[in-house]
Amino acid sequence: MKKGYLVLQDGRVFEGYRFGAQTDSIGELVFTTGMGGYIETLTDPAFAGEIVMHTYPLIGNYGIIEEDFEGECLMKGYVVREWCPAPSNFRTQYDLDTYLKAKNVPGIWGVDTRELTRIIRENGVMNAMICDEVPADLSVIESYAIAEPVKYATCKSISLHNAQGEEKFHVTLVDYGVRRSLIRTLQAIGCTVTVVPASATAEDILSGKPDGVVLSDGPGDPAQNEAMIAELKKLLGKVPMMAVGLGHQMLSLAAGGKTEKLKAGHHGANQPAKDLLSGRTYVTAQNHCYVVTDPGCGTVRFVNANDATCEGVVYDEQKAFGVQFTPDAPRGLADASFLYESFAELMKGGAN
């Protein structure tokens, strides 16, 4: 076992053991609270530029299963209390250590993840470094910033995904860092999906005459994506729209709203989102550090039952809505799947 260190930007040092890629790496340290689904976490493009820590203590026990991948692994590091080097599952293809090495992602285990979680919860998200030797100068850690992560998370070319069974709608999905389960769910409800890069213009999208437009989740600060937001302003009201995660935040900015960074973010598969229309609370999967604080011309429909932050906005006049959570979450977390029916109803009504 090779010793390693997790060094926080405030100077605190946690000693552990290295696994995965044997390289030093700096990223923004966040914690995720899901008790399962580490494969989906590893392959969620919304973690681009971040060092991800699991609060659940044992990770890797069912190995790596490529069928469950959501996208590319873009995280900067991986932190766990304990990892399982000998997974046992009939679907296992290889182990976690092998995967991290293949993706050049360094990992560290044996650290006190409970104490680290308390630090982030009380002090907020901060930069950190996984390394072999503690650096004398912490300025390199302090100065790290996630620059243009959507550029790395988006697709490089247009792709077509046919509907399962009868085609009911043709949807254009703008990829800011899409999870594959979002595409699969759209296909399952009868949508043929054209996936376009984040750089697509409003004219490009409307020229395909889609029945609806979906804005995907993705990484980073939504306000950094000024050119993309400008294109969304041109789209809003022209075609029915559904937005998820980062897409929801950018849609609110396009509608005249505001966003800000949360202290610790919402990461995990157990975030409670309350529907203000029905009074019901749904257990949802989320992965974001930013939140909508002003919906602009929209109306807040969902709020987080823990901290009352915005979880969803409706734009009735523009036939659009956005949610902070993931309504397509796999492994049984489909509480909010009714939102796809709402989107289908908007598309049946057509544009304004």
Q: What is the DSSP string of 288-351?
A: EEEEEEE-TTSEEEEEETTT--EEEEEETTTTEEEESS-TT-STT--TTTHHHHHHHHHHHH--
**Residue whose tokens read 């988006």:** 154
133, 229: one domain: no
Which residues are bridge partners to 275 per DSSP? 302
Q: Is the pLDDT of residue 338 over 90?
A: no
Name the residue range of residue 119's domain.
3-145
Name the domain boundary from 119, 145, 171.
145
104, 165: one domain: no
| Average pLDDT of the segment spanning 151-157 | 95
Q: Is the pLDDT of residue 261 over 90?
A: yes
Look at strands 13-20 and 258-275 and give their pairing.
unpaired
Look at strands 169-175 and 212-215 and give their pairing.
parallel
Terminal alpha carbon distance of the chain? 63
227, 92: one domain: no
40, 131: one domain: yes
- CA distances (Å), 334 to each of 103, 107, 185, 186, 321, in order? 30, 31, 11, 13, 18
Q: Is the pLDDT of residue 330 over 80?
A: no
Per-residue pLDDT at 285: 87
Per-residue pLDDT at 36: 84
141, 172: one domain: no
Give the number of other CB atoms < 10 A from CB of residue 82.
Answer: 14
| Average pLDDT of the segment spanning 124-132 | 97
Per-residue pLDDT at 299: 97
135, 173: one domain: no
**Residue whose tokens read 């796809």:** 340
Tally the domains of the chain: 2
248, 281: one domain: yes
Let me know: does 185 contact 172? Beta carbons within 8 Å: no
pLDDT tens, residue by residue, 44-90: 999 999 999 999 999 999 999 999 999 999 999 999 999 999 999 99
Give the number of other CB atoms < 10 A from CB of residue 231.
Answer: 21
Task: Say how far apart CA 22 and CA 29 lie, in whole Å.
Answer: 19
Task: Say how far apart CA 228 and CA 225 lie, in whole Å.
Answer: 5
pLDDT tens, residue by residue, 309-329: 999 999 999 999 999 998 865
133, 189: one domain: no
Q: Is the pLDDT of residue 342 over 80?
A: yes
For residue 56, the number of C-alpha atoms closer than 13 Å in the C-beta half-sphere is: 18
CATH number for position 167: 3.40.50.880
140, 99: one domain: yes
Which residues are bridge partners to 320 per DSSP? 241, 315
Name the domain boundary from 120, 145, 170.
145
129, 154: one domain: no
pLDDT tens, residue by residue, 235-246: 999 999 999 999
Q: Global pTM?
A: 0.94
Look at strands 25-32 and 126-131 and give their pairing.
antiparallel
CATH number for position 44: 3.50.30.20
Let me know: does 225 contact 216? Beta carbons within 8 Å: no
Per-residue pLDDT at 351: 62
| Strand, coil or helix: 283 | strand
62, 173: one domain: no
Q: Is the pLDDT of residue 206 over 50?
A: yes
Label residues 183-222 b or e (16+ Cβ within 10 Å = b).
bebbbebebbbbbbbbebebeebbeeebbbbbbbbbbbbb
Name the domain boundary from 145, 164, 193.
145
